Amino acid sequence: MDIDIKDWKKGIIAGLVAGTIWGWVALATNWVTGFFPLEESLLYELITFGIGGAVFGTVAAGFLVLTRQHLPFKHLLPKAIMLSTSLWLLLYFTGAWLSATDHERYHPVMDETIQGLALSVVMGGLIWIFWRRPVKAAQ
């Protein structure tokens, strides 16, 4: 099976940029809500949230490249939101399973869970925005 490198590159770059920005949006959101008291310096948080967001965004965008033609929506925005949220749910339920098997180490916190779910929707929106940008520039 051949991979359309151009299509993948476009998706991965969109995911990388959207994810990095999403990491900083998540940092700002948590600063406003105060759901989790941050333990490190701002510079450290900016770097780790940026890297973590970029990884999450890249994987979500990768799935979007791979499956977008098979998803049950016409427009890209609901497809991107569906994928980023599904990826988050997959991670979350795996975490919940870990919590069931080792509750001493993993226990879910409702505030953080709701924040994470809401932010995964935001991730879909950001991927959509950065996916569309190069298309507009090419026209």
* Nearest-angstrom CA–CA distance, 119 and 123: 6
Single residue of 107, 132, 134, 135 touching another protein by CB under 8 A: 107
Report 40-69 residues binding another protein (CB under 8 A). 40, 45, 48-49, 52-53, 55-56, 58-59, 62
Nearer to another protein, 110 or 138 (CB): 110
For 73-96, give one letter per residue: b (16+ CB within 10 A) or e: eeebeebbbbbbbebbeeeeeeee
Span near another protein by CB under 8 A; candidates 20-28, 73-81, 131-139:
20-28
Q: How far apart are the two ends of the chain, measured CA to CA in Å?
A: 30
* Nearest-angstrom CA–CA distance, 91 and 86: 9
Nearer to another protein, 37 or 72 (CB): 37
Q: What's the min distance (Å) between Cβ of 45 and another protein?
A: 6
